[in-house]
Amino acid sequence: MNNTPFHLHNKTIFITGASSGIGRQIALSTAEMGGKLIITGRDKNKLEETLKLLKGGGHIAFIADLNNLEQIDDLIKKLPKLDGVVMNAGISEAYPIKYLTSQKIQETFNVNYNAVVLLMAGITRQKKLIKGASIVFTSSISSSFPPKGGAMYSGSKAAIENFSKVLALEQFQQKIRSNCITPSMVKTNLYEDLEKTVTKESMDTHIKQYPLGVGFPEDVANCAVFLLSDASRWITGTSIIVDGGFSLNGY
């Protein structure tokens, strides 16, 4: 591999939400770059499909529902020593504030925030991270530029961004790094679901605000590969915006 730090050889990487969308692509790209993966997701068939698509050998898939505390604990125990973690699992539902209930808050925060906190608590307490490990969180541009109906989703992502900074502060002595990727809309199944929910027209109108057009899962995955690799060893406690120029808010 010459002397370039832009690779993931000899790195063991744990990825949540790997059954589809951005998470699946992060799994494919990190395997492509030499990483050995432990992937997790709720959907057995889809997760196994991801596993089959991974380049190289020695990858493992664990089915786990991050709404379930026992399954989270069980998952943490099964993890080997890790060089990298990608916390990608998340759900999104547009819901105006006046209809929010305790149940609605829990539905989003259980997966998007609480499970991430519990996983990182267990992973750090049980010393699953090697020195110099890199943690990557999939946030969202909506953490800074929220849409109507996004109180829960964008709130949970804003919470993750600060959580990542605290993790960076608490772990830097081990040279463990923690960063977020902040993407805008990329073409995944979730995007197609959203087209059905809010209509294709309104999604098209939104995408018109992206100078570089709509993104693709690999655009986010490439950033994850960089953050997991030693090429980013001096980057911690920050977020990288991957949004096709959306937040330029230009005209």
Task: Look up residue 61 and give its two tokens.
Answer: 């898939």
> Cβ 176 to other proteins, closest distance in Å?
40
Instruction: Determine, following the binding rule CB under 8 A, whether residue 95 of this chain makes contact with other proteins.
Output: yes
Residues 6+ apart with CB under 8 A from 236: 168, 172, 177, 178, 179
Smaller CB separation from other proteins, 122 or 149? 149
3-state secondary structure (DSSP) of residue 185 = coil
Report the 10 Å Cβ neighbour count for 109. 18
Smaller CB separation from other proteins, 100 or 169? 100
> Cβ 198 to other proteins, closest distance in Å?
4
Smaller CB separation from other proteins, 149 or 237? 149
Here's the x/- map for other proteins, 179-198, by CB under 8 A: it reads as -----------------xxx
Instruction: Determine, following the binding rule CB under 8 A, whether residue 126 of this chain makes contact with other proteins.
Output: no
| Residue (of 240, 215, 25) closest to 134 by Cα position | 240
Residue from 96, 132, 211, 213 binding other proteins (CB under 8 A): 96
Instruction: Determine, following the binding rule CB under 8 A, whether residue 99 of this chain makes contact with other proteins.
Output: yes
Residues 50 and 20: their CA atoms lie apart, in Å, by 8
User: What is the DSSP track for 97-166?
Assistant: GGG--HHHHHHHHIIIIIHHHHHHHHHHHTT-EEEEEEEEEE--GGGTSPPTT-HHHHHHHHHHHHHHHH
Task: Look up residue 238 and give its two tokens.
Answer: 């920050």
- Residues between 146 and 165 with contacts to other proteins, criterion CB under 8 A: 148-149
Smaller CB separation from other proteins, 106 or 199? 199
Measure the CA dihedral 164/79/26/35, to 10°: 120
The count of residues interacting with other proteins (CB under 8 A) is 13
> Cβ 66 to other proteins, closest distance in Å?
23
Residue from 91, 94, 158, 235 binding other proteins (CB under 8 A): 94
Smaller CB separation from other proteins, 10 or 189? 189
Smaller CB separation from other proteins, 91 or 117? 91
| Residue (of 82, 112, 63, 88) closest to 217 by Cα position | 88
Residue from 53, 166, 199, 248 binding other proteins (CB under 8 A): 199
Residue ranges binding other proteins (CB under 8 A) = 94-96, 98-99, 101, 148-149, 196-199, 202
